[in-house]
Amino acid sequence: MKTNLGVNIDHVATLRQARRGSSPDPVTAAAIAELAGATQITLHLREDRRHIQERDLRLMRQTVQTELNLEMAATDEIARIALDVRPDTVTLVPERREELTTEGGLEVAGQKERLKPFIRAFLDAGIRVSLFIAPDPEQIRASLEVGAPRIELHTGRYADAATREERANELRRIEEGAHLASQLGMSVAAGHGLDYANVQDIARVEEIDELNIGHSIVSRAVFVGLDRAVRDMRALIESV
């Protein structure tokens, strides 16, 4: 399989936080996802701690056997935690308190000077850095300028496209963006809104080496179990 599958377990924690209790435990979910074929566990420690807690991150750093990818806003508070816990990768994402999920890509072009030292601190600590951005040439070039070795292309507009034409246009933007990033020497992941019906066109994009998928897998897991939900997704990705 050329495309790695990062399973985002945030929404297991969302369910736990609905009762502020101890179950379901995202740490257990991470282990089951790995056994079912996830090659990475992705989690987002949000500033408002609405789902993942610091405890989850610290435990998963000890228990995850594959790769640990921490999605985070570029803030000093979360950076301090990340530099202490040392995930394999940090993915910098925009974060707004009122949003339901990460809505847009990171505005890299408009905050280059702020992001440069931030990214450097992680790279110096041996932590890989990825920037979650729209498939927009300006943001891709800016990502290179700020020193990011990797980007994750936001597939939300592709996933939410209302018509076939719009979806085809968004797919083309993703293909062109992945190609440009690769030509510039950056590696490329993709994610957001990917599900069992729309994942294969993205998995076919040559330069994309990893997909991060959460909501659709956890939703299916409610009915068929997490093991099967991860295996079903892997099978779709593998068969392209």
Find the binding residues for ligand PXP in span 195-234 (CB under 6 A): 212-216
Of the candidates 176, 134, 175, the one whose C-alpha atom is nearest the C-alpha of residue 153 is 134
Q: How far is the CB of 2 from ligand PXP (least distance, A)?
A: 19
Other beta carbons within 10 Å of 12: 29
Give 147's DSSP letter: T
Q: Please identify which residue in 8, 66, 89, 187 interacts with ligand PXP, judged by CB under 6 A.
A: 8
Output DSSP code: residue 87. Answer: -
Number of residues binding to ligand PXP, judged by CB under 6 A = 19
Q: Tokens 């179950």 — which residue?
A: 23
Per CB under 6 A, does 191 bind ligand PXP? yes
Q: Identify the three-state secondary structure at position 6.
A: strand
Q: How far is the CB of 154 from ligand PXP (least distance, A)?
A: 7
CA distances to 10, 31, 92 from 45, rounded to whole Å, are 9, 18, 11
10 counts as binding ligand PXP under rule CB under 6 A? yes
Q: Which listed residue (11, 34, 51, 71) is catalytic?
A: 71
Number of other residues whose CB lies within 10 A of the CB of residue 17: 14
CB nearer ligand PXP, residue 3 or residue 216: 216
CB 211 within 8 A of CB 189: yes
Helix (H, G, I), strand (E, B) or coil at 39: coil
Catalytic residue among 11, 34, 44, 67: 44
Q: Tell me, residue by residue from 56 to 85, as one string, x for binding to ligand PXP by CB under 6 A and - for no binding.
A: ---------------x--------------
Options 65, 75, 101, 219; binder of ligand PXP; rule CB under 6 A: 101
Is 175 catalytic? The answer is no
Asked if 152 is part of the footprint of ligand PXP (rule: CB under 6 A), the reply reads: yes
d(CA 85, CA 95): 21
H/E stretch holding 35 reads helix 26-35
Residue 211 CB, nearest distance to ligand PXP (Å)? 8
The interface region with ligand PXP, picked from 12-20, 46-54, 192-200, 228-236 by CB under 6 A, is: 192-200
- What are the helix and strand counts (H, E) for the chain? 11, 8
Site residues (vs ligand PXP, CB under 6 A) = 8, 10, 44, 71, 91, 93, 101-102, 132, 152, 191-194, 212-216
Q: Which residues are marked as active site?
A: 44, 71, 192
